Amino acid sequence: MISEGWIFLFMVGTFVASAFALRLPIGICLVIASVVGLLAGGEGFALRHMVEGTFGYLNTILVIGCAMMFMKAIQASGLLDTVARWLIDTFYRSRALLLVGLTFLTMFPGMITGSSTASVLTTGALVAPVLMHLGIPKQKTAAIIAMAAIYGMLAPPVNIPAMIIGGGIDMPYVGFAKPLLLATIPLAIAISLFLGLPHLRRLRSLDLVRERLPESYHRTYGLRLYLPFAVLVVLMAGPNLLPGKFPDLGMPLTFFIAAAAAVLSGKPVVPWAVARGAIRDALPVMGILMGVGMFIQVMTVTGVRGFVVVGCLGLPRALLYGAMAVSVPLFGAVSAFGSSSVLGVPFLLALLGTHNEIVAASGLTLLAGLGDLMPPTALAGIFAAQVVDERNYFVVLRHCVIPAILTAAWALVLIRWATPIARWLV
């Protein structure tokens, strides 16, 4: 009988070999690694466990799909372009405010979908040419977009790693708004200013960049243009403001209804085209989640997950924080979601009783999110490099090293002093 440690090494080694040598999609690499884990653990080709694993994150997959439809719908209706133009028209005289505003705009799709890829490919692609035309080198522009996308995927209201960690210890996804805002917003502001402000030239008028600016549709459609966002806010806030009186439709249906409202708001929207484009763009992330679910299921069946949990619980407290800072981001090369489940859950279990669980989980998600910068997957870095037409994404990742270190340090601060921070946030 092969020990659990060897099974884990076989699974991780198979994944790395598939991703590096064969350059297969990450979801397929996870499937292959899961099959190897089953065979090494003596379970044979247990199709039942593989199918069951793919449905482990079904609700999260539905959230991503419907949220991506919402993003594509407001992009097609002209709302995203209008907001971007308003930010530039309003803050172009203040370099710092303009940069921070464009950073928040880049974060928005990730906040809604829980995916850094969604941020990079939508508002990131919208903001990139403006930032470069304002004087920021394209490599640093890509770094700003990549970091903003990661902070966006971790900011409320949708933080999928927090949902996964909470699900692993039966902790509901409630009360995370303030801790996640504290975890992400200060970093987003500081990192964007650190990377971009020294290069951003002062503008006395918009004439120099007018050809690069997105078009505003506010005068054409008026307040009707903002209908999808208004519907989203009402449906999400209603159950909290009027408990028991306002129906809680669930996040997938909420995003779907808000996306449908875009048909009546601005530029003509073709629902079928929006839905197809949204699912096409979301498929890589959805595939990774299915692969992660299968990977975790196999780890559970073969005893590897218990082996990892016991190993984390047995670490001395002096080594625990260092192990978090190194292992959680590195395992994020598999995926940030997989890192949250495989390592985030046992690390949080090791902190139970001595740390506030919600704040500590928020800090752990920061570490997991850094996995989107880790080769070979490096989703945020690769897509951000493509957006600015940079072929070598390692050049982009080089500019993300200091921001990543600062992010890991802030995450450890949140974890170490989780309880006093929670009292301060109340």
Supply the DSSP string of 396-413, one letter for each residue: HHHHTHHHHHHHHHHHHH
Gap between the Cα atoms of 71 and 79, Å rounded: 10
Q: Which of 351, 303, 305, 352 is nearest to 324 (CA)?
A: 351
Determine the pLDDT at residue 257.
92
Helix (H, G, I), strand (E, B) or coil at 194: helix
CA quadruple 14, 19, 25, 27: dihedral positive or negative?
A: positive
Helix (H) or strand (E) holding 351: helix 345-351
DSSP state of 340: I
CA quadruple 421, 192, 120, 391: dihedral positive or negative?
A: negative
Gap between the Cα atoms of 319 and 322, Å rounded: 5
CA quadruple 300, 306, 311, 313: dihedral positive or negative?
A: positive
Domain carrying residue 324: 5-425
Residue with tokens 């990977």: 295
Determine the pLDDT at residue 210.
58
Q: What domain count does the chain have? A: 1
Instruction: List average pLDDT for each run of 10 residues in the chain, which is 426 residues long.
Output: 81 81 80 89 82 81 84 87 82 82 89 83 82 86 94 90 84 88 95 88 57 77 88 84 80 88 86 88 80 84 80 75 87 78 84 86 93 81 84 88 95 93 86
Gap between the Cα atoms of 57 and 328, Å rounded: 20
Determine the pLDDT at residue 209.
57
Report in angstroms the alpha-carbon separations of 410 from 182, 187, 188, 312, 365: 10, 8, 12, 21, 12
pTM for the whole thing?
Answer: 0.81
Cβ-Cβ contacts under 8 Å for 351 (sequence gap 6 or more): 357, 360, 415, 418
User: Exposure of 21 by Cβ count < 10 A (0-12 exposed, 13-18 middle, 19+ buried)?
Assistant: exposed
Determine the pLDDT at residue 310.
77
Determine the pLDDT at residue 58.
83
Determine the pLDDT at residue 248.
80
Determine the pLDDT at residue 420.
93
Determine the pLDDT at residue 51.
85
Tell me which amino acid residue 363 is.
G
Determine the pLDDT at residue 46.
80
Gap between the Cα atoms of 126 and 96, Å rounded: 19
Report whether 346 contacts 313 (CB < 8 A). yes
